[in-house]
Structure 1
Amino acid sequence: MATAALRSQVAAKWHEGFNRLNRSEPGISGLLSFSQAWNIATDYLHPRDISDPTSVKHHDLPSVKASFDLINRSRRLPVMLETFLDDICDQYHLIVRDIEQYLAEYEESADTSVILRLVFRLVEWYRAWAPIDELGPTIRAAYTLTFQTQLFSILPPAFVRGFKALCASTLVPVAQLAPPMWEAFEVLGLTDRYEGIIASVGYERIEDYVRETCTGRWDKPCLEELRVWMTEQIVPWMLPMYAKGAGNTEDARGMLQNVGSRFDFHMNKTLCDLRTSEIFDIIIDFPDSNGALQDLKECLQRVDQRSSLVQALRKANRKRLLHPGADTKLILSQYVATIKCLRIVDPPGVLLFKVADPIRRYLRERPDTIRSIVANLVGDDDSGDSLVDENEPIQPLQQLETEDYNDPHWDPEPIDAGPDFRTNKPSDVISTLVSIYDSKDLFVKELQVLLAQRLLAITDDNFEKVEKERRNIEILKIRFGEAALQVCEVMLRDMTDSKRIDGHVQSQKASIVHPTIISRHFWPSLESSDIVMPGQFQALQTQYAKEFSTFKPDKKLRWLPHLGTVHLELQLEDRTIETDVPPLEAAFIELFSEKNTWTMDELIEGVGAVDRTAALKALITWIDLGVLKEDEENTFRLLEVTEEAAPSSRTAPTASETPTVTAAQQQQADQMRLYWKFIEGMLTNLGSLPLDRIQTMLRFAPGYDQTVEQLARFMEAARREGLVVGRDGMWKLNR
């Protein structure tokens, strides 16, 4: 049972509440007037269906205000507010009905104007149910919070998609409905709720515009034009959302500063991503792509994507450059272009150091890298595309620099520099290329070998090339130093002396032999051979050596008969053949002046110790010219009279069979089949290739020494067998 104290307390509270509601009026008249005011106020606040005209009632505003005033004086306004908010939740199904109707129409038509009408409809609901302003900001704020909370809880994903599309539609140059639309967003709280979505619309528009206008456009910078476009298109679109309430331009600029910085950052990031994806082709197109490099440099100062650039370029190099299908000269050209481009993007050279390391290691493993660099230095590059800029001054090779901390212009290493960064300091291109290897002595020796080959290839009627080589050596002295090229000076002097000696010998006794006489100790080691030139060649050599010994009694000629070229005129019964061939071919055909038929072993014995493979290649030359014929395996006969193609002693082939080939040709074909796997692999990986590209790549195969003509015959045979397809000079596998 309740105690007397509790009963007394309850009675006191009840009495106090009664007095407050009755307002100390006689009887219960005050309570009745409060009840009447409560009914008027609740009926006025009750959420109505604005789609049903009959549900709308007209109220006497003075009596409504008086009722609210009475409830407020009775301190029952919070209770009424709670009842009102409960009614809002109960009646929200009316709004859900409209939302479903509008979204169904949008899903069917994908028309963003439907979403805009839905937004305006929601604003109508919001204003129709809103309490009057006389109730104060607290009740208004509570109503707004309840309305928006209910709204956001029922909006389906379809509305979010439509809302984003609606915002995107306002990015067109003229958007007549944009101001009232943004006001409606603000009323419903959509601006704050979906700020990320609205910003993403701007980001995506920036991304699309950057890709549309800047992709593949590398000749001039794009950033300045992009910023002008941002000012004209994006900034006006941002004003209603991010600068609402701005009284003047300065206020708007201050309010947009933060968000504008975010949009500018995104524009820089998008352009940086685009240029990063294009970087390999940008480097190929250099110097015509200088504008894109300037953009990339500026973007990297704003956006920290240096590591992404390094990774993208290294990946592209591995896929498109550092593989056996790429010619060494192509790799060197791309490396030089990479050096020049990355120095524009990152003058300290950190990016270059990180990107160049795999290229340098790969070039170091290639056997012809040094020769390609040296050939370019002396102007022996067949492509005509020099690695060295003609405008770049010729200067000595730069040595690795040491840190001078007393230098007032000294700068610390960049924060992303590796521990070995300073070891890659040479700035000019040639010094950078030479620094691929640990010592320049390798280049000097290769230079000597290349110069020797070039000098020995000079014919008597083209001796002005010696002077050209002399000019090249004078230029190279600046780079490598006088001492390093002394041997080259001796070789050039030998060429001059050789011409003078030959002139003296010819004046004493004319000869058709014009040897190049060199100093054995100062020239690179030349390949030796035990070939003995037979017949008239031996006599001509002996006669020339005798005259030389008369002129130079203290010296003796040592012939290298496997080097050089012999101009021959073969007089056969029905024809005359004139050709230039290597000495071994000349030696073999000379033996046929003694008798018409020789075996392979007899021919080899007649010219000394010769490798059978080299002998076979020499004989195939005459077979191809129609001078010799292989009657039996390893037995060759001179054709004094041209023979028409006659049926072989073997069974005549059917239409589906390939013609019978000689044993020598068969042996050559067998040798080429050893390299078929190489050819099949490169055509599988690289698709269609021209013949010269296949020949270049086959040079990396061990022991490959075939000419491009021999390769062409092999590919034609492979085509007849259905292994490959040849069209317009391109070869590909027959799938």
Structure 2
Amino acid sequence: MATEALKRQIAGKWQNAFARLNRDQEGITGLLAFSEAWALATEFLHPRDLNGSMANKELDMVKVRLAVETLSKSKMLPILLENFLEDMRKQQYLITRDVNQFMLQYEETEDVHHIARLVYRILEWYRAWVPITELGHTILSAYTLTFQTHVYSILPPSFSRGFKKLVNATFDLAQSPVPPPWLPPTPPALQSPVPPPRPDLPLWSAFEQLGLLDRYESLISSVCYEHIEAHILETCSKRWGERMLQPLREWMTNRIVPWMVMPYARGARSAEEARSMLQGVGSRFDFHVCKTLSDLRTREIFDIIIDFPDSQPALEDLKECLQRVDQRTQLVQTLRKANRKRLLHPGADTKDILTQYVSIIRCLRLVDPPGVLLFKVADPIRRYLRERPDTIRCIVASLVGDGESGDSLVDENEPIQPLQQMQVEDYTDPSWEPEPIDAGPDFRTNKPSDVISTLVSIYDSKDLFVRELQVLLAQRLLAITDGNFDRERRNIEILKIRFGEAALQVCEVMLRDMTESKRTDQHVQSQKHMMLHPTIISRHFWPPLQAGKFAMPGQFKLIQDDYAREFHSFKQDKKLRWLPHLGTIRLEIELQDRTIPVDVPPLEAAFIELFSEKDTWTVDELIARVGSVDRSAAIKSLTTWVDMGVLKEEISNQYVLLEVAEDGSSVSTGGAPPRPARVIEEVSAVLTVEQQQAEQMRVYWKFIEGMLTNLGTLPLDRIQTMLKFAPGYDRTIEQLGAFMEAARREGLVTVANGMWKLSRT
């Protein structure tokens, strides 16, 4: 049983509700009016089927607004909203049916026309069911949220793909004065007496009203990103000879910015307001332009460096892009990977590696003046070049203009300056700047700036370069036959600026020796005309020359002795020590039917001289007459005459002189030789630095042999430690390892698990 209090409470609430609905009118007049208002409002708000017979039914909007006002005064709008939303849920199948129909057509044809029609159809449903503004913002917001929630829940995954294609098509619409034939006509609700300034304006309006702009914001942005990327790849790939960043930004202004107005600034009321609304998204797209161009140039960086300096505009673009986007790490990684694949391998010539390294230095200093990128990229190249035995020789050859291809690593426009050494940073300098944030712990901002100092800094000491300079200059001086040393004198003066006068003193002595040798030869020739023109040098100031112990026979020996006597009479405190295996001799071989002029090395001349004594010689007899000659060198020299038709090998190791050519053709004196002129193989007279080091290491073989004999097996580092007690030993463990490997190939030692021992004989 209900208590009296509860009964009174219920009765009071009923009376209040009745009074609110009846609006304090007599009898139930107000209640009847409320009932009519409710019926009219629910009829108006009931979601209709656009394809049904009631779709075009029109109500008196004056009465509808009065009914809404009545319900509002009765505080029944929340109940009306709840009823309306429930009716919407019951009618949502109508929208679902249309969506499925249009999406089926799109999935069958992939025609973006069906997506556009679907958008307009959904907009028709939205406008058909939308409440009037008199119901208030709350009801309108609830309706919009409910409608969009349902639509988004029924759109299939393929809609995103189609919507993206539709947005992409708006790029062409933005530039077209008329809509394309596939674009449906503007719905009546969107038509106005003034034609839209752009054909895609109704489409963007539909996107906005349906909430598609917010929902697919990232997809819309991705369309613009892809458009930018496609344009950059199409217009900028492999085009390094002109600046591209500024034309890209002009293209953005003319092509992308007008398109951006629709999705990002459609509601702007003035140009200034539109500019303000586009500032953020425009900056984002400009960032993407810089990033895409930076990515492209990063992928092309190896070829850009090869094409330098013609590719300098591309590097300037890359520098500007890197100031806006953080792609420095990717650039370093890409270039290091390309260097490993295309440069740092045994198939690449050392000169090519050095040329590319110099280009890398110049290019990366242009992109990053502090040098952090160069420091990170150059480290593997420097380590690889340090392991190549001919690196120093190639650098030195370039310094003195002796490059094989005629190219030089040194830019003629760069001033000649001394080698720069690492200096301690002066923090009191007002122009001092801290190291860049991405610099490593070993980086120094005041690293050598000129190319030559950078190349020399590959090694710990410039003494290696000085020794190689001495060898190379010695070879070049000995190769000069016309007595003109002006070029070498100029090279020495330039090198003195770079390496200092003390390091080039030996080279100056060599140059003076050559000048003095020419003067001495002129004096000897003035006393007694001789066919011999030797080069006289100071033995103690020149690098070691190639060893040879054979003696010239016959008339060559007499010519040497005569020259030595004249020289001794001119310089009584000097003595000539002949190196008969070096040089070139010009001969005329007079045979019965022909005369053959030829330039040959001394050993070939010595052998053919012996054939003037008798016509047949064995190899052993020839070697016994000239002295200590390697058998292979002797056979090679004899083969020269066999190739020229002067000698013939009758039996193994026995040669005979052919006074008459075997083909029977007689050639008169002074006639052309029967065979083409022979190309003389040039053999360096001076030992290279590697050969000098190998010869010096042989001195220490006895120490190594004694260690391994007494102590058995030893690791390389132990051998290195013990060799340091030997007088004059200054080799690195890498040089010792190379020597031990050479000894292993000769069968002197064996190695297993890093332990060396003598081979058992």
Please give the per-residue CA displacement for 1:437-484, whole angstroms capped at 9, x wherever unaligned.
22222212111111111111112xx212x1221122122222222222
Aligned equivalents of 2:440, 2:146: Cα separation in 1: 58
1:482/1:39 Cα in 2 relative to 1: closer, same or farther (>3 Å)? same
1:49 maps to 2:82: no
- After the TM superposition, which residues 249-328 of structure 1 pair with which residues of structure 2 at under 5 Å, given as runs? 249-328=271-350
Shift of residue 642, structure 1, vs aligned partner: 3.9
Please give the per-residue CA displacement for 1:660-699, whole angstroms capped at 9, x wherever unaligned.
xxxxxxxxxxxxxxxxxxxxxxxxxxxxxxxxxxxxxxxx
1:575 maps to 2:594: yes
Amino acid at match of 2:296: L
Shift of residue 117, structure 1, vs aligned partner: 2.3
Shift of residue 630, structure 1, vs aligned partner: 3.8
Aligned equivalents of 1:423, 1:92: Cα separation in 2: 70
Shift of residue 146, structure 1, vs aligned partner: 0.6
Amino acid at match of 1:491: M
1:128 maps to 2:136: no
Provide the residue aligned with 1:70 in structure 2: 70
Amino acid at match of 1:301: Q
3-12 vs 49-58, which deviates more? 3-12
Shift of residue 168, structure 1, vs aligned partner: 1.4
* SS at structure 2 position matched to 1:170: helix
1:623/1:82 Cα in 2 relative to 1: closer, same or farther (>3 Å)? farther
Shift of residue 424, structure 1, vs aligned partner: 6.3
1:74/1:552 Cα in 2 relative to 1: closer, same or farther (>3 Å)? same
Shift of residue 594, structure 1, vs aligned partner: 3.5
Provide the residue aligned with 2:360 in structure 1: 338
Aligned equivalents of 1:108, 1:632: Cα separation in 2: 90
* SS at structure 2 position matched to 1:578: strand
Aligned equivalents of 1:595, 1:94: Cα separation in 2: 121
Amino acid at match of 1:557: L
Aligned equivalents of 2:116, 2:536: Cα separation in 1: 95
Shift of residue 113, structure 1, vs aligned partner: 3.2
Equivalent position to 1:520, from 539, 547, 550: 539
* SS at structure 1 position matched to 2:175: coil
Provide the residue aligned with 1:427 in structure 2: 449
Aligned equivalents of 1:587, 1:2: Cα separation in 2: 145
447-456 vs 607-616, which deviates more? 607-616
65-74 vs 209-218, which deviates more? 65-74
Q: Is the 8 A contact 2:370 2:445 kept in 1?
A: no
1:268/1:536 Cα in 2 relative to 1: closer, same or farther (>3 Å)? same
Provide the residue aligned with 2:530 in structure 1: 511
Q: Is the 8 A contact 1:22 1:31 kept in 2?
A: yes
418-427 vs 244-253, which deviates more? 418-427
Q: Is the 8 A contact 2:435 2:445 kept in 1?
A: no
Amino acid at match of 1:481: G
Please give the per-residue CA displacement for 1:360-407, whole angstroms capped at 9, x wherever unaligned.
121121111111111111121232222112121212222222211111
* SS at structure 2 position matched to 1:387: coil
* SS at structure 2 position matched to 1:265: helix
Provide the residue aligned with 1:606 in structure 2: 625
* SS at structure 2 position matched to 1:580: strand
* SS at structure 1 position matched to 2:533: coil
Q: Is the 8 A contact 1:628 1:639 kept in 2?
A: yes
Provide the residue aligned with 1:174 in structure 2: 175
Provide the residue aligned with 1:233 in structure 2: 255
Aligned-pair identity in percent equals 68
TM-score between the two structures when normalised by the length of structure 1 = 0.83
Equivalent position to 2:206, from 184, 189, 208: 184
Q: Is the 8 A contact 1:565 1:583 kept in 2?
A: yes
Please give the per-residue CA displacement for 1:297-345, whole angstroms capped at 9, x wherever unaligned.
1111111111111111111111111122222222222111111111111
Shift of residue 346, structure 1, vs aligned partner: 1.0
Equivalent position to 2:641, from 622, 645, 649: 622
Shift of residue 8, structure 1, vs aligned partner: 6.1
* SS at structure 1 position matched to 2:153: helix
Amino acid at match of 1:133: T
- After the TM superposition, which residues 85-484 of structure 1 pair with which residues of structure 2 at under 5 Å, given as runs? 85-172=85-172, 174-175=175-176, 176-422=198-444, 425-459=447-481, 462-464=482-484, 466-484=485-503
Provide the residue aligned with 1:725 in structure 2: none
Q: Is the 8 A contact 2:619 2:653 kept in 1?
A: yes
Shift of residue 192, structure 1, vs aligned partner: 0.7
1:364/1:25 Cα in 2 relative to 1: closer, same or farther (>3 Å)? same
* SS at structure 1 position matched to 2:573: coil
TM-score between the two structures when normalised by the length of structure 2 = 0.80
Aligned equivalents of 2:205, 2:321: Cα separation in 1: 36
Aligned equivalents of 2:298, 2:53: Cα separation in 1: 62
Please give the per-residue CA displacement for 1:221-242, whole angstroms capped at 9, x wherever unaligned.
2222111111111111111222
Aligned equivalents of 2:108, 2:125: Cα separation in 1: 24
Structure 1 residues without counterparts, runs of 5 or longer: 646-701, 704-735
Shift of residue 145, structure 1, vs aligned partner: 0.6
* SS at structure 2 position matched to 1:421: coil
* SS at structure 1 position matched to 2:539: coil
Aligned equivalents of 1:379, 1:263: Cα separation in 2: 50
610-619 vs 279-288, which deviates more? 610-619
Aligned equivalents of 2:554, 2:251: Cα separation in 1: 86
Amino acid at match of 1:160: S
Aligned equivalents of 2:572, 2:13: Cα separation in 1: 145
1:249/1:29 Cα in 2 relative to 1: closer, same or farther (>3 Å)? closer
494-503 vs 543-552, which deviates more? 543-552
Amino acid at match of 1:120: Y
* SS at structure 1 position matched to 2:596: strand
1:6/1:619 Cα in 2 relative to 1: closer, same or farther (>3 Å)? farther
Aligned equivalents of 1:644, 1:139: Cα separation in 2: 118
Shift of residue 24, structure 1, vs aligned partner: 6.1
- After the TM superposition, which residues 624-643 of structure 1 pair with which residues of structure 2 at under 5 Å, given as runs? 624-643=643-662
Aligned equivalents of 1:47, 1:644: Cα separation in 2: 116
Structure 2 residues without counterparts, runs of 5 or longer: 177-197, 665-740, 743-761
Q: Is the 8 A contact 1:400 1:423 kept in 2?
A: no
* SS at structure 1 position matched to 2:347: coil
Provide the residue aligned with 1:718 in structure 2: none
Provide the residue aligned with 2:679 in structure 1: none
